[in-house]
Every structure is written in C-alpha cells, then in structure tokens.
Amino acid sequence: AQKVTQAQTEISVVEKEDVTLDCVYETRDTTYYLFWYKQPPSGELVFLIRRNSFDEQNEISGRYSWNFQKSTSSFNFTITASQVVDSAVYFCALSEVYNQGGKLIFGQGTELSVKP
Amino acid sequence: DAGVIQSPRHEVTEMGQEVTLRCKPISGHDYLFWYRQTMMRGLELLIYFNNNVPIDDSGMPEDRFSAKMPNASFSTLKIQPSEPRDSAVYFCASSFSGRSSYEQYFGPGTRLTVT
C-alpha cells in the first residue's frame, strides 16, 4: 500500500532559523514521483517541487532545499533562514504513475509557524 | 493560460439540501481529480477521471456523493442530501498524461459549510 507520513504535526521557529520538514513514504513501485506542496493561510495548494524515483540528486531553490534518500524512503524539505511568509501547512505527496494519471497520496501535513 | 477554475468558492447550505460543486480543468488536460480536505482526514482523493471516464471512485464516501464529467472542460461533484459532516474544502485538480511527471494543478477550492 502507498503511504506518506509526516510525523511533525506542528513546528514553530523564530525568523532566520533553519527548519527541516520530514517526509517518509511507502510504495511497492519502482517508478514514482514525490512532491511538496505549500498551503498558505489563504488556502490554495501551491506546487513547490517534483522528484522522480530515479533522481536522488538533492535540489536547491533559493532558501529551499530537498533531500531525497531512497535507502530510507525519505524526502525531507529544509527552509534556510526562515521568514514569516513561510508560515503555512506543507504537504508531502506520492504519485504512482502508471495508468493512474498521477493520483496523489498526501501526508497529513506539517504546520509551520515562523515568528518574527 | 487560466488555471483550474472552481465554483462557487464558498457555499453555505442547510442539512438535507443538494449541493453542486463545479470544476473547469486546464484546457488540454486529460485527467481530472476531486479531493476533499478536512481537519480529521487531511487531503483525500474522492474520484478521478481520464478522458471524461471515471477511473477510480473508491474514495467517494457514500452514495450521497456523485461526480460527472460530461465533457473535457467541465466536471461536477454533487452531494444529495448534504450533511454537516460533509463540511470541508473540496479541491479539483487536473493533469496531462503527455507530461511524464503527471504534475497536478489545483484549483482554489470550494469551502463547503453544511449547517
């Protein structure tokens, strides 16, 4: 069965601190995609990143970075020098591709609060 | 390009009433998904379509829920009769199978409140 676990329900940091959001997934497929979405207080779901199962290279985008490790089935997300605008709920998601059009299995989300 | 469009953005109705949520996917996308978000259950897939055909409706909670996609540019999710426990945010998303990543684009959601 496919499953995504985000063990951290809530995280609170002070501005400029670094913070890592954990994501652990389960799947029997060898080909899959992993995603992170951001849901700010306004409620929309904002795509942040997509990673395929064959690419374990870490990725950095500005203050955001992602660490994908197949050996531990983890896809963790780090925000460097956090800002108040980073306050949101962050969702990790798994997509098993074949014949399913990218159906997403979401984790429960981690609510990040960045205080000034 | 316009993104996924959902209407209404907010809906307040009384228990027992019929509710219809609407979605217009991104033009050219061949997959359409309906998700529901609640505090208790998080984000869960209700049903999805491929080329207007329902593929998997195993997430639909019960017979009170139904979804249709009469054409490639329109889908509805109907709840009849509605109950307070149906209160949630309902998201529609679409994707294109021509992209190997099947990246999904989400609409802004419809916040449903059943009193």
- The model's pLDDT over B72-95, given as tens digits with 9 standing for 90+, comes to 999 999 999 999 999 999 999 998
CA distance A106 to chain B (A): 6
Question: pLDDT at position A106, please?
Answer: 94
* A43 near B CB under 8 A: yes
Question: pLDDT at position B100, please?
Answer: 59
Query: Considering chain A, what is the average pLDDT of its residues?
Result: 91
Which residue of chain A comes nearest to B43, CA vs CA?
A106
Q: What is the dihedral of CA A37, B110, B6, B83, to 10 degrees?
A: 130
Q: What is the mean pLDDT of residues A59-65?
A: 90
Question: Is A17 a residue whose pLDDT tops 60?
Answer: yes
Is residue A40 within 8 A of residue B104, CB to CB? The reply is no
* Most trustworthy range by pLDDT among A34-43, A95-104, B16-25: B16-25
Question: Is A97 a residue whose pLDDT tops 90?
Answer: no
Question: pLDDT at position B32, please?
Answer: 95
CA distance A29 to chain B (A): 15
Strand partners, B80: none
Question: Is A7 a residue whose pLDDT tops 90?
Answer: yes
Pick from A86, A91, A68: which is nearest to A17 by CA? A86
Is residue B51 within 8 A of residue B62, CB to CB? The reply is no
Peptide linkage before B81 cis (omega within 30 of 0): yes
Question: Is A99 a residue whose pLDDT tops 60?
Answer: no
Count CA within 13 A, CB hemisphere, residue B56: 17
Q: Tell me the percentage of chain A whose pLDDT exceeds 70.
A: 95
Residue of A88 and A104 predicted with greater confidence: A88
pLDDT band for position B26 (cuts 50, 70, 90): very high
Q: Give the span between the Cα atoms of B37 and B39, in whole angstroms.
A: 7
The tokens describing A53, both together, are 């199962």
Chain A hits for B42, Cβ within 8 Å: 106-109
Question: Is A67 a residue whose pLDDT tops 80?
Answer: yes
- Give the Å distances, CA to CA, from B19 to A49, A76, B65, B113: 34, 39, 10, 10
Write the residue in B89, B102, B106 that is nearest to A101 by C-beta. B102
pLDDT 10s digits, B29-87? 999 999 999 988 899 999 999 999 999 899 998 899 999 999 999 999 999 999 999 99
Torsional sign, CA B85, B91, B94, B100: negative
